[in-house]
Amino acid sequence: MTRRGAAAVLAVLLLVLGGAGQAQAVGYRYWSFWDLSGGSWTYATQGPSTARPSDGDVQGFRFAVSEDSSRATKPRTKPDFDAVCGGTPARDGRKRIALVLDFGTAADAPSGQ
């Protein structure tokens, strides 16, 4: 192959490879973490390993597909604390925290699960 032929093959390869876009993920499957405040879910500013909820707080997790945290899917249930833990009396040195687990929808599940 001549130099001119090799240069032409290289140019074609660069055009083909350079023009191919990178694959983009539609979203991420993950458990988002939420706090119930004033009757509305808000995306938690801390993760569950560093959050320090108070007695009477409600926290939630939702498994879903989301592009990023600004578009994360909220838990579908909005209980108040009394609906979940109202029958549990307060005790010194203990915290009562209601926890909501939303396992998402069939569309959120990985294929075959």
Give residue limits of the domains in the chain: 24-108
Dist. CA 113–CA 108, nearest whole Å: 10
Strand partners, 32: 62
pLDDT at 13 > cutoff 90: no
Proportion of the chain above pLDDT 70, given as a percent: 77
Dist. CA 25–CA 92, nearest whole Å: 48
* Residue 62 main-chain phi, psi, to 5 deg: -135, 125
Please state the pTM of the whole predicted model. Answer: 0.69
